[in-house]
Amino acid sequence: MKPRYIDIVLAEFKCFFTEFTRRKSLIIALVLYPYILTALILFIGTVFGSPKYFKEKIPADPLLFFLSSSLTLLISLVILDDIGARFIWEEQAGTLPYLMLMPAPMTKFILASPIPRLVLTLGWVMLTLTPTAIYVKGLESGIAIVTVSSIATLGALSLMGFALIVCGLLILSKGEWAIYWIIRPLILFLSGVLYPLALMPLWLRILSMTMPISYAVEASRMLIAYENPQIKLILINIGLILALSILYTPIGLKTYEYLELRVKKSGGLK
């Protein structure tokens, strides 16, 4: 009997939370990571310009602007790492042959693997963003916090298609980490998580338009950081996320299945 997708997800939850409770340092890391990254970005930014200059270029609060980006990055890494690099982790742990012999399709396992960490990270995102947003914008920012978390999650899930293609390329390359460390920062840079899209050259902005997560980053920033967010633009960004997700996810699934079958036929997957 083939295991259902929900059975695989529940097994992943049990495995992940057993490991998570064993490593208490992960809790501290999850809380501090977005603030440390935001502080680093703000520090580097002040070296080249002042917060006043930033507000002249972008009508948003710098702290909330980059904090929302850091949180979106944190959620996005869940998808990129748990799907894109899962093949290498399992190969190094020596468990890959057992997974490949599962009666369920490998794609089911890969798509189930990020769900537990995504749920946990989403909770941390809301707990991390809430005190800062309330301090800067007041209690009325509560609804915005929930909406930003939802948009960030949607943007991260839209990366599934890209992550599956990356996973397929890693299988094809027989586990070469170099490919992953080239593709991963490239995707994050083009998404605008680390650098505002409005300040990028035109050709980079055009490339970023092909990345669904870039629209999630922009929508999150508009909602929580901008002084006068335009609801129409936020809804347009959400619509583009959904449209690109519908386009890329089937392409990612088919690409991964093709690359996995190709490697199995050639005997390259051991």
pLDDT tens for 95-152 read 777 776 777 777 777 788 888 878 877 777 777 777 777 777 676 666 777 777 788 7
Find the domain containing 14 and state its range.
5-266
* CA–CA dist 170, 176 (Å, integer): 6
The pLDDT of residue 176 is 60
Q: Write the burial class of residue 217 (CB in 10 Å: 0-12 exposed, 13-18 middle, 19+ buried).
A: buried
Using alpha carbons only, how large is the chain's radius of gyration in Å?
A: 19
Per-residue model confidence as pLDDT tens digits over 169-179: 777 776 566 67
* CA–CA dist 69, 216 (Å, integer): 10
Is pLDDT at 269 greater than 60 in this prediction?
Answer: no
Closest CA to 236 of 252, 251, 222, 250: 222
For the chain, how many structural domains are there in total? Answer: 1
Predicted TM-score of the model (pTM)? 0.75
